[in-house]
Amino acid sequence: MSDSRQRRDGRRRTLEGVSNDDGRHPQDPDERRYQAVRSRDARFDGEFFFAVATTGIYCRPSCPAVTPKRANVAFFPTAAAAQGHGFRACRRCRPDAVPGSAAWNVRADVVGRAVRMIGDGVVDREGVPGLAGRLGYSARQIQRQLTAELGAGPLALARAQRAHTARVLLQTTDLPVTDIAFAAGFASVRQFNDTVRRIYARTPSGLRAEAATGRRARPAAPAAGIPLRLAHRGPYAAREAFDLLAGEALPGVEEVTGAPGARTYRRTLRLPHGQGIAAVDERGHPGWLAARIHLTDLRDLTTAVQRLRRLFDLDADPYAVAAHLGPDPLLGPLVAARPGLRAPGAADPEEFALRTVLGPAESRRAAAGHGTPLDVPCSGLTTVFPEPAVLIGHPVAGPLAEALAAGTLLLDPGADRDEAEAGLRALPGVTARAARLIRMRALGDPDSAADPAADRPAWRPWRGYAQQYLATAEPTCTEQTPIAA
């Protein structure tokens, strides 16, 4: 039997096992997913993927291609699951570039924490044992739980992410293919080539050539930075997000330039392998924000992108937030007035926590006196905020810095939020409000609110968004600049 026929028969068996066409009714989850596919509903991009047995391709729900017959369609919770069943990514809708599912920001269980950590590049840096150790489970338990819910284990999820990073580098830079393989996190060039062929049905050089035939700009040199499109779901209230970031910008570390509506936010980044500078434009495009990242080590690209996504809250589901908060008598008018309002997070959780405790003036002094100078200053950016170990002994932030440096307090994407908040409250100098604010912004908890006015059970699990709506309703409210509070 030929390889192509084996793959086709395998996909057919997958279809039979994943989706049963018998006894469907309008409330069947797969039937609702198929209706979303038929209507090309972009609200579900990233929430699930569909694959077609007759073509061997998987897509996002909003793919503009002709809708396949229901009998030929299977649904998967992740791109990695579709890839694991032998499907390749659609060249038309680019399903690997969709925003992430908002469910992983809401969930505090081990699966949600694992997904956030994989996104931050933990598996690439530390392997599955490192991920399991951080979560307090065995590697086998993590494999079993992720496979049960996502249809793919940690290695497969990380591999899908590496493939996307590789495609971005191939199509936006002139880097040699060998350099891209290792920058994307692959262990060898052979593994890189095999993965790209399996997922995109193209060689790496073929992917690069394909980009050159479209309307994309010529690939940039590494020194010019890596241009990116940061996808988001639904409308995006950029003005409010940039107002917030401009109000709390720390000189030397962050800056916002340009006139409202056409501003650019820039900041320095402390990353696992080196330094970085990121720039994001306020002027949006349908479904994405334009960004550019300069890195001293390209292995940090995946981590840098994920941190920008958390900072700008790009994986949020504004439709779910509006559906829940919109009917509320107090919040309803605010939700209608600001569609797509986000609850910005933090690019560096430890930095945000320290700045929250220090306050604006002390944060400026800490950055100026203890920050790490950039190898090459850029515009008004000169410094990377100091690591926690440097601030041990500080009269205000010393206890927090010591706990972060020692690892007794964890604020990484996979941290247990309840444990982290309890640990923060136990430290001298950290108020209950500061602990809630750090949980909301640094840990990206959409149900955490530092403002007591937003702490209403009826607004769960979106109390963080309720706080943002209340803050934007009163422009002079201190909640508009939470780090300065």
38: tokens are 């038929």
Which residues fall within 8 angstroms of residue 386, CB to CB, at 6 or more apart?
A: 366, 367, 370, 371, 372
Q: What are the residues whose beta carbons fall under 8 Å from the beta carbon of 5, sequence distance 6 or more?
A: none
Alpha-carbon span 264 to 259, nearest angstrom: 9
Q: Please name the helix (run of DSSP H) or strand (run of DSSP E) that holds residue 343, with its range, or none.
A: none
Q: In whole angstroms, give the CA distance from residue 317 to residue 301.
A: 24
Name 452's Cβ contacts closer than 8 Å, sequence gap at least 6.
Answer: none
Cis peptide bond upstream of 26, omega within 30: no
Contact 306, 119 (CB under 8 A): yes
- C-alpha dist (Å) from residue 419 to 98, 352, 369, 413: 31, 18, 32, 13
| Short-list 434, 465, 422, CA closest to 358 | 434
CA nearest to 88, candidates 199, 210, 4: 199
CA distance 283 to 151: 37
Q: How many helices (H) and strands (E) does the chain have?
A: 20, 11
Catalytic residues: 59, 455
**Can you name the residues that pair with 384 across neighbouring β-strands?**
372
| Cβ–Cβ < 8 Å for 56, 87 | yes
Coil, helix or strand at residue 230: strand
Q: Which spans in 248-382 are helix H?
A: 301-311, 318-325, 332-337, 349-370
> Which tokens belong to 39?
């209507």
Residue 193 CB-density burial (10 A; 0-12 exposed, 13-18 middle, 19+ buried):
middle
Which residues share a beta bridge with 73?
Answer: 52
The DSSP-derived string for 367-416 is HHHHPEEEEEEETTEEEEPPPGGGGTT-TTTHHHHHHHHHTSS--STT--
The rounded distance, in Å, linking the Cα atoms of 152 and 85 is 10
